[in-house]
Amino acid sequence: MAYIMVIATCSSQEEAQSVASGVVERKLAACVQLSSITSYYTWQGKVCREPEIRLTMKTRAGLYSALESFILDLHTYDVPQIVKIPITGGFQPYLDWLDDTTRPDICP
């Protein structure tokens, strides 16, 4: 089984909580962690500094497309950060838990 972490950011705690609870309720990820961060980035030619909430989601690779679509449906940014990072190994009981708590019906 292939596992991934998906990292996204939201502009507010409320938006992040909505995404996180929806993702877990729909079993698109086993776990979502929220962290307050400050992001520096260039947008439309200007350097910006904004508070954001980072979401770190652990799931199976086969759920990525459904997870991305769900995030995009709720997200307020024009171009939200949504990136996937492969998990190349880990504590097997934790990886088994990822399998047990995510949707088997849409994941090979």
Q: Cα–Cα distance between 101 and 25 in angstroms, integer?
A: 10
- This prediction has a pTM of 0.92
The residue extents of the domains of the chain are 3-100
Give the sign of the dihedral formed by CA 80, CA 17, CA 31, CA 54. positive
- CATH top-level class of 3-100: alpha beta
Q: What is the pLDDT of residue 105?
A: 73
- Give the residue among 106, 16, 32 at the shortest CA–CA distance from 64: 106
Q: Where are the alpha helices (DSSP H) in 1-108?
A: 13-25, 64-74, 92-100
Q: Give the tens place of pLDDT for each residue, 20-73.
A: 999 999 999 999 999 999 999 999 999 999 999 999 999 999 999 999 999 999
Cα 107 from chain centre: 17
